Structure 1
């Protein structure tokens, strides 16, 4: 397993004093009547580990709309994902050597008491995500995967009769996650993660530590050093998606105040949302949450 766990939709963390300063951002200027907000999420962190989460949640409830990677209440999600996750013309036994197949079968039986006799038609990328989540959950001592904060933001929006807007349709997300990388390459990624799982856990722990500290500069460095995906694959998973979202976001924040929550990796770098919004003329400032109010702090991440 490796830092690719950051995009798990199943699959982008805070606890240190200044964490919010780098993960929560205010978007203003460039003709906006009301400010919007941008928050970097980690799909596997329990809300109770997030410093000031109640204040962040309250802030999201004050916006006119919550914008996420996908509207998680879309009725088409389950059927669309289930169809995209399954292989039609091959099986894992055909994609792997007998030795590698036996290794994957053993790992899944050990982690979730289900072997490849039941999972052999599942695409390797989904198996990789499942393995990553299970290993991380085990490392953290959780009995189950925590409820994602993106789910909580959307539930809160609905409870407050606010709009929920997805930047991608279920079809788009399913295609990105399971169809853009060839099955043979997916199988290679799965085997690499299983064979180097301890190293992967150490990498995830290091990335998580940087996230919890709000150290976006370190997050970007670690992401750049991660070679689990090729540059072309990273572009498909991150850069191209950011570019597509940036075609939607200016219109959304012009029309209403939005609380935008996406995986934190989508915030960093020259293709990240922070840099792209600034290029369009918006002021994007990090915010620090305190006991009863939010105030600006000096930017520590200026990409």
Structure 2
């Protein structure tokens, strides 16, 4: 009888750990419920997209109103003014970009009213800072409103100040480093800058996944391993950051109701935040913006 009783006690944990996650739920919002605790919520963000998107949903304001803490990746990902906090690359800009990428980014920088990439480099602004500045400018140009400069991460972060809530920065203490073969975070950002500039040059939307992202049309690939598509750079900025964040999220979710905003890429794959939390016994559920809190 005792073994059966023990098995019954373990059933909720077994049910949690064996839940099957939907990889295409049609949303960027997820509810995370620790066993025996109240639910927290995670928004998978697009760092280039305006906070005006989630501001339009009543559910966002309901979640923010009941939250007891706000969690973001890091200040440098939330507000352009903090981008200087990221470590600068020692490599000259011309070594970070390929020829076409340098030309496109230089042209876009000039369109922004800056004399060119050489002047940006002389100013000491790291390429990560340039990315945040350029992304903010694109959002501003798209919306035509100064408040459009706050991306989704920044908009969520603003809720902490607005509602007098504690703000947790997941990257606090994390060391960004060059990968094993020398493919650095700065080089990765330079590639993304080139892609943004190419889209802008061709007249396309400046955020590569704008339309699909707005519709929540994201394949989270929760049953697949990211290691099959990982670059050397991913070891640090994906696997290691997710693993670094997990204990902090555990502590926060166990103590209070939280609103979390991290890039949706960190929610993808078996090594992502959603799958890791599910394996640890958290109930992980997609939430549609049309729902209402009970």
TM-score, normalised on structure 2? 0.67
Partner of 1:23: 28
- Indicate conservation of the 8 Å contact 1:124/1:190, yes or no: no
Deviation of the 1:233 alpha carbon: 1.7
Deviation of the 1:143 alpha carbon: 6.0
- Aligned to 1:30, the other structure's residue is in SS state coil
Partner of 2:154: 151
Partner of 1:266: 266
C-alpha deviations, 1:184-207, integer Å up to 9, x for none?
Answer: 946973785488546998596562
Deviation of the 1:266 alpha carbon: 1.4
Q: Which structure is larger by alpha-carbon Rg, 1 or 2?
A: 2
Q: Identify which of 41, 66, 76 aligns with 2:45.
A: 41
Q: Identify which of 69, 72, 84 aligns with 1:65.
A: 69
Over 3 Å counting, the alpha-carbon distance change for 1:176 and 1:147 in structure 2 is farther
In 2, distance between residues paired with 1:116 and 1:184?
Answer: 15
Deviation of the 1:236 alpha carbon: 2.4
Deviation of the 1:81 alpha carbon: 2.4
Over 3 Å counting, the alpha-carbon distance change for 1:188 and 1:283 in structure 2 is closer
Over 3 Å counting, the alpha-carbon distance change for 1:177 and 1:107 in structure 2 is farther
In 1, distance between residues paired with 2:189 and 2:286?
Answer: 40
Partner of 2:289: 289
Q: Which moved more, 1:47-56 or 1:187-196?
A: 187-196
- Indicate conservation of the 8 Å contact 2:104/2:198, yes or no: no
Deviation of the 1:41 alpha carbon: 1.9
1:1-303 aligned at under 5 Å gives the runs 22-32=27-37, 34-50=38-54, 52-70=56-74, 78=82, 81=84, 84-85=87-88, 87=90, 91-92=92-93, 105-121=106-122, 122-127=125-130, 130-131=133-134, 134=137, 138=141, 140=142, 142=144, 145-169=148-172, 172=174, 175=176, 181-182=183-184, 185=187, 189=191, 193=195, 196-197=198-199, 207-217=209-219, 231-290=231-290, 293-294=292-293
Over 3 Å counting, the alpha-carbon distance change for 1:152 and 1:125 in structure 2 is closer
Over 3 Å counting, the alpha-carbon distance change for 1:194 and 1:43 in structure 2 is closer
In 1, distance between residues paired with 2:288 and 2:193?
Answer: 41
In 1, distance between residues paired with 2:105 and 2:207?
Answer: 23
C-alpha deviations, 1:115-134, integer Å up to 9, x for none?
Answer: 23421244445445555555
Over 3 Å counting, the alpha-carbon distance change for 1:45 and 1:182 in structure 2 is closer
Partner of 2:10: none
Deviation of the 1:275 alpha carbon: 0.8
C-alpha deviations, 1:248-274, integer Å up to 9, x for none?
Answer: 111111111111121122112112211
- Indicate conservation of the 8 Å contact 1:288/1:294, yes or no: no
In 2, distance between residues paired with 1:189 and 1:92?
Answer: 12
In 2, distance between residues paired with 1:159 and 1:103?
Answer: 38
Taking only aligned residues, the RMSD between alpha carbons, in angstroms, comes to 4.5
- Indicate conservation of the 8 Å contact 1:125/1:187, yes or no: yes
- Indicate conservation of the 8 Å contact 1:96/1:187, yes or no: no
In 2, distance between residues paired with 1:71 and 1:100?
Answer: 27
Partner of 1:301: none
Deviation of the 1:240 alpha carbon: 1.9
Over 3 Å counting, the alpha-carbon distance change for 1:185 and 1:86 in structure 2 is closer
TM-score, normalised on structure 1? 0.66
- Indicate conservation of the 8 Å contact 1:127/1:190, yes or no: no
- Structure 2 unaligned spans of 5+: 1-23
In 2, distance between residues paired with 1:286 and 1:256?
Answer: 20
- Indicate conservation of the 8 Å contact 2:97/2:191, yes or no: no
